[in-house]
Chain A
Amino acid sequence: MNAIEVTNLHYTYPDGTHGLRGVSLCVPEGACLGMVGPNGAGKSTLLLHLNGILNGHGGVRVFGKPVHEDLQAARQIVGLVFQNPDDQLFMPTVFDDVAFGPLNLGWPEERVREAVTRALESVGLTGHGDRSPHHLSLGEQKRASIATVLVMDCRIVVFDEPTTGLDPRGRWEFIDLIRDLPATKIIATHDLDLVRELCDRVVVMDDGHLVAEGPAADVLADQELLEEHGLAKPLDG
């Protein structure tokens, strides 16, 4: 079964900018999909449709069900990790932030506490629950952001540029964390090595279109394609 099915999706921002100009995409359950493309290609715009935050023309289905039929259910299935931790972490403490989603789902207090403890442990932030997000390092902030989504036991986890700004060690820690995550994963990124490391399939986006799709090894080996969409430096001669 397909975890995500997007058919002919169009989206225009209120100021007239075309974010998406007809995108179709299938992600099978259990896959790890990489999404690459230059700045402004429409990656973030597409991701915001996957749990119904934006509502464009066209269809978005999650496990066969249209997202807009039951938004709350879709948001429980699809977890979204935003690019900037300052957007993702908005509560006074890390604990409150991680507990935010579960409390909105109406979980009982005991279950919330257990889940938060487990999520913090899985990202290596045990004992940091009482700290304020702005006092964490960027790497810790990124991991806390991931915990806010892991805690909800989402079957699909979507990452927007998860490794920008991380130092090499933080980047490797992230890769290890994601590799073991038992969920369908979609990762929008400029980090081609990350894609090579983690993803089985890759889509290339440019200017609101999906311009290529295929197994990661093949797409990343297509020098001409990468050059055309600004993902690799043209080779001389």
Chain B
Amino acid sequence: MHIPDGLINDPRVWLAADVVAAGTVAYAVRRESRALKPEEVPLMGVMAAFVFAGQMLNVPVAAGVSGHLLGALLAAALLGPWRATIVMTVVITVQCLLHADGGFAALGLNVINMGLAGTLVGWLIYRGVRAVIAGRAGVLLGGAIGAWASVVLGALLVGVEIGLTGQTDFVTPAKALVIVHVPIGLLEAGITVGALAVVLRARPDLLGCAPRGAVEAVSTAEAAP
């Protein structure tokens, strides 16, 4: 879903997105810099590496097709919305500059679609579900719905952005993209739930839950439910 340069052909659209994204990220940086303890900087850096490396964990879906985690909602659940926003921005920027994955003019669009849609909107949904359903069930359900919604919302935003250029109507690209991303969102939800379940078991404190008995060691794939 990394939008390359040229897909959104109207400079006004991507310039506006760049401004919105830069403003939001600047706010996040100013807000978090004040509260950031020295040892939390390596934490955020390692989390950016985690999102990057987590995308290497592929799920074989069908022959030749595989999917992977995008991670915006997971990052927000674990770090809070603003820090996750900074982390996702770093990941998306480095992917653009290092891999040429996603355009540079389109960077703002990509930060909005793949970052903010999950770290802010997805996170609001996650918190909303947790406010209604307490405890571990709330974390898992909120994570699932938030993750699914963040992917589908990201796709919807791409559709709207294409529509805004006036080259097509709004409905056709949005409809096509959303249909494709409904199952991709389910994949994201599944991976996010699996990850949150492990964190709940090993480090419930990081999700604001009380430890359940003794802390267990985390093992690798056997930790699957």
Cα(A14)–Cα(B206), bound, Å: 13
Residue of A nearest to B215 (CB): A15
Check B211 against A15 for contact (C-beta < 8 Å): yes
Interface string of B172-208 (1 = CB under 8 A from A): 0000000000000000000000000000000001000
A107 touches B (CB below 8 Å) = no
Interface string of A160-171 (1 = CB under 8 A from B): 000000000000
Which residues from 205 to 225 on chain B have a C-beta closer than 8 Å to any C-beta of chain A? 205, 211, 215
How many residues of chain A get a CB closer than 8 Å to chain B's CBs? 3
Which residues from 143 to 184 on chain B have a C-beta closer than 8 Å to any C-beta of chain A? none
A172 touches B (CB below 8 Å) = no
Residue of B nearest to A87 (CB): B42
Cα(A68)–Cα(B215), bound, Å: 30
Cα(A90)–Cα(B211), bound, Å: 31
Cα(A15)–Cα(B203), bound, Å: 10
State which of A14, A15, A90 has its C-beta within 8 Å of the C-beta of B42. Answer: A90
Q: Which residues of A contact B211 (CB under 8 A)?
A: 15
Cα(A14)–Cα(B211), bound, Å: 11
Q: Which residues of A contact B42 (CB under 8 A)?
A: 90
Q: For the complex formed, measure the closest distance between the CB of A77 and the CB atoms of chain B, giving whole angstroms.
A: 20
Cα(A90)–Cα(B42), bound, Å: 9
Q: Which residues of B contact A90 (CB under 8 A)?
A: 42
Residue of B nearest to A90 (CB): B42
Q: For the complex formed, measure the closest distance between the CB of A235 and the CB atoms of chain B, giving whole angstroms.
A: 32
Cα(A12)–Cα(B211), bound, Å: 16
Which residues from 19 to 64 on chain B have a C-beta closer than 8 Å to any C-beta of chain A? 42
Which residues from 6 to 26 on chain A have a C-beta closer than 8 Å to any C-beta of chain B? 14-15
Cα(A69)–Cα(B209), bound, Å: 36
Cα(A14)–Cα(B204), bound, Å: 13
Residue of A nearest to B45 (CB): A90
Q: Which residues of B contact A15 (CB under 8 A)?
A: 205, 211, 215
Q: For the complex formed, measure the closest distance between the CB of B108 and the CB atoms of chain A, giving whole angstroms.
A: 27
Q: Which residues of A contact B205 (CB under 8 A)?
A: 14-15
Q: For the complex formed, measure the closest distance between the CB of B49 and the CB atoms of chain A, giving whole angstroms.
A: 11
Q: For the complex formed, measure the closest distance between the CB of A19 and the CB atoms of chain B, giving whole angstroms.
A: 14
Q: For the complex formed, measure the closest distance between the CB of B20 and the CB atoms of chain A, giving whole angstroms.
A: 31
Q: Which residues of A contact B215 (CB under 8 A)?
A: 15
Cα(A90)–Cα(B39), bound, Å: 13
Q: For the complex formed, measure the closest distance between the CB of A93 and the CB atoms of chain B, giving whole angstroms.
A: 16
Q: For the complex formed, measure the closest distance between the CB of B44 and the CB atoms of chain A, giving whole angstroms.
A: 13
Residue of A nearest to B42 (CB): A90
Cα(A73)–Cα(B42), bound, Å: 23
Residue of A nearest to B39 (CB): A53
Q: For the complex formed, measure the closest distance between the CB of A18 and the CB atoms of chain B, giving whole angstroms.
A: 13
Cα(A14)–Cα(B215), bound, Å: 12
Cα(A219)–Cα(B141), bound, Å: 57
Cα(A90)–Cα(B45), bound, Å: 10
Q: Which residues of B contact A14 (CB under 8 A)?
A: 205
Residue of A nearest to B203 (CB): A15
Q: For the complex formed, measure the closest distance between the CB of A196 and the CB atoms of chain B, giving whole angstroms.
A: 33
Cα(A90)–Cα(B49), bound, Å: 12
Q: For the complex formed, measure the closest distance between the CB of A122 and the CB atoms of chain B, giving whole angstroms.
A: 27
Q: For the complex formed, measure the closest distance between the CB of A131 and the CB atoms of chain B, giving whole angstroms.
A: 19
Q: For the complex formed, measure the closest distance between the CB of B13 and the CB atoms of chain A, giving whole angstroms.
A: 36
Cα(A70)–Cα(B211), bound, Å: 35
What are 5 A-to-B residue pairs whose CB atoms are below 8 Å?
A14-B205, A15-B205, A15-B211, A15-B215, A90-B42
**B-to-A contact residues, CB < 8 Å:** 42, 205, 211, 215
**A-to-B contact residues, CB < 8 Å:** 14-15, 90
